[in-house]
C-alpha cells in the first residue's frame, strides 16, 4: 500500500480522464491534482515562455494557472472542451496581463531552458564550432519568435512548436479554425523573413554579401 494512503482508498489510474481527476482534486485528493499538474505543466510552461521570453514570468504564470484550477475548479466545463484548452486560455489571460504590466521588460531566458527544445541539439560528436552554430540558430529562432505580434506568436507557438492541430489551437485560443490558419500563415511568413534578416546581419557587419 502506498505510504499515506488510507485503508480502502482506491489508487488513481494514471490514465484517468482529466475531468475525473479534477473532480477528485476538488474534493481534496492531492494525488489527482499532482497527476493533472504533471500532465499539463510542461506545455503550459513552454507556451508562457515562448510568449514572454522570460523564465521567471513563465514560472509565475504556470503557478497562477494551477492555483486557478485549485481555487475555482468549477470554472472548467468539460462540455465546452478539453481541460488542456481551458488551461491554455487561463495562461493566455495571465500572459496578456503580464505584458500589460511590464511592457518594456527585458527577456531573461536561460539558454539551457528556453522553451525551444524541439530544435536540433548538438550530438556527442559535434565540434565546438558546430555547437556554436546550433546555439546561434536557436538564438535566432527565439529572437524572431519573440518579435512576432502576439496573435501570430500564439499560433506559431502552438501549431509549429507544440505541434498542435489547427482545431486544438483554435480551441485553446477560443477562435475559429480559419483564424488560426490565417495567423499561422502570416506568422510563419514573418518568422521566415525575420530569420533571413538575422542571418544576413553578420554578413552586412562583416562587409560581405
113 phi and psi angles, rounded to 5 deg: -145, 65
Residue 51 contacts residue 150 (beta carbons within 8 Å): yes
C-alpha cell at position 124: 556527442
Residue that wins the pLDDT comparison between 107 and 74: 74
Collapse the DSSP code of 120 into the 3-class scheme (helix H, G, I; strand E, B; otherwise coil) and give the result.
coil
Beta bridge partners of 110: 113
- The CATH number that applies at residue 146 is 1.10.10.10
- How many domains would you assign to the chain? 2
For the cut 50, the answer to whether the pLDDT of residue 120 exceeds it is no
Q: Is residue 7 part of a domain?
A: no
Instruction: Identify whether the C-beta of residue 168 lies closer than 8 Å to the C-beta of residue 135.
Output: no
Which of 109, 139, 159 terminates a domain? The answer is: 109
Domain hosting residue 39, numbered range: 14-109
What percentage of the chain has pLDDT greater than the value 90? Answer: 42
For the chain, percent of residues with pLDDT exceeding 70: 70
3-state secondary structure of 144: helix
**205 found inside a domain:** yes
Same domain (yes/no): 198, 135:
yes
| Cell matching residue 100 | 500589460
Q: Which three cell numbers stand for residue 83?
A: 481541460
| 8 A C-beta contact, residue 166 and residue 177 | yes
pLDDT tens readout for residues 127-136:
666 556 656 6
pLDDT (0 to 100) of residue 4: 45
Q: Which of 18-27, 96-105, 121-130, 175-184 has the lowest mean pLDDT?
A: 121-130
pLDDT at 102: 60
Same structural domain, 128 and 78: no
Left if phi > 0, otherwise alpha if psi is -120 to 50, otherwise beta: which for 7?
beta
* Mean pLDDT over each residue of the chain, to the nearest integer: 79
pLDDT at 105: 43
* pLDDT tens-digit readout, 7-59: 444 566 667 899 999 999 988 888 999 999 999 999 999 999 999 888 999 99
Q: Is the pLDDT of residue 111 over 60?
A: no
Amino acid at each position: 500500500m502506498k505510504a499515506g494512503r488510507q485503508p480502502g482508498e482506491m489508487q488513481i489510474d494514471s490514465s484517468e480522464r482529466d475531468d475525473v481527476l479534477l473532480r477528485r482534486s476538488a474534493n481534496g485528493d492531492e494525488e489527482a491534482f499532482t497527476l493533472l499538474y504533471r500532465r499539463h505543466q510542461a506545455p503550459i510552461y513552454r507556451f508562457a515562455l515562448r510568449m514572454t521570453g522570460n523564465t521567471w514570468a513563465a514560472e509565475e504564470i504556470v503557478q497562477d494557472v494551477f492555483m486557478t484550477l485549485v481555487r475555482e475548479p468549477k470554472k472548467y466545463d468539460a462540455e465546452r472542451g478539453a481541460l488542456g484548452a481551458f488551461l491554455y486560455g487561463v495562461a493566455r489571460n495571465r500572459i496578456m496581463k503580464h505584458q500589460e504590466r511590464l511592457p518594456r521588460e527585458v527577456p531573461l531566458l536561460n539558454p539551457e531552458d528556453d522553451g525551444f527544445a524541439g530544435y536540433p541539439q548538438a550530438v556527442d560528436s559535434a565540434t565546438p564550432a558546430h555547437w556554436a552554430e546550433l546555439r546561434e540558430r536557436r538564438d535566432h529562432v527565439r529572437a524572431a519568435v519573440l518579435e512576432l505580434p502576439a496573435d501570430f506568436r500564439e499560433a506559431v507557438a502552438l501549431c509549429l512548436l507544440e505541434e498542435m492541430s489547427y482545431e486544438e489551437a483554435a480551441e485553446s485560443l477560443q477562435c475559429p479554425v480559419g483564424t488560426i490558419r490565417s495567423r499561422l500563415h502570416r506568422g510563419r511568413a514573418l518568422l521566415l523573413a525575420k530569420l533571413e534578416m538575422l542571418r544576413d546581419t553578420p554578413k552586412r557587419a562583416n562587409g560581405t554579401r
